[in-house]
Amino acid sequence: MASRLRGLRVPTRKPAPCSSVHSEAVRHHVDYALARRAVLRELRTGVRTRNDVCDAHPELMRAGRYVGEDAEHPCPVCGGSEVRYVSYVYGDTLRRANGTCISSREELARFGDRFDEFARYVVEVCLDCRWNHLHQRELHGRRFAAG
């Protein structure tokens, strides 16, 4: 290995400091679309059964029915139109509010004003066949506020 490295030049100057664009507070998120596609592929190929992926908890179904936001796409499993997004918040500093179902953007903004950091988990659920999958995770709070 050392013989392959002999001809390489190592830079001697330090890299330039990060610009202010990279140091600004940004809301971070993780999209689970690739994991969703993998689960659906496994369902189509028989690796998973419909019972494996259509197992939404009754509380998730209830939240989807009463406070969930309509999704703009049909269910990827049954083709039904009753797909909803349900949001929950989790964080070390939330105390009693940990695991709360969020029903509006205003409620999310109130949490963001009160707490330094917490995560919002958005779950996709079908009210017809009980399909459910984690859609997205976002970091919120004063630490991640824009501006």
Per-residue pLDDT of the chain (147 residues; tens, 9 = 90+): 444 444 444 444 443 443 333 333 445 889 899 999 999 999 999 999 999 999 999 999 999 999 999 999 999 999 999 999 999 999 998 989 999 999 999 999 999 999 999 999 999 999 999 999 999 999 998 887 765
Under DSSP, the state recorded for 88 is: E
Contact 123, 56 (CB under 8 A): no
Q: Torsion-angle region of residue 105: left (phi > 0), alpha (psi -120 to 50) or beta?
A: alpha
Give Cα separations from 77 to 37, 94, 95, 120 (angstroms): 11, 35, 36, 25
- Are 39 and 48 spatial neighbours (Cβ–Cβ below 8 Å)? yes
Give the predicted TM-score (pTM) of the model.
0.77
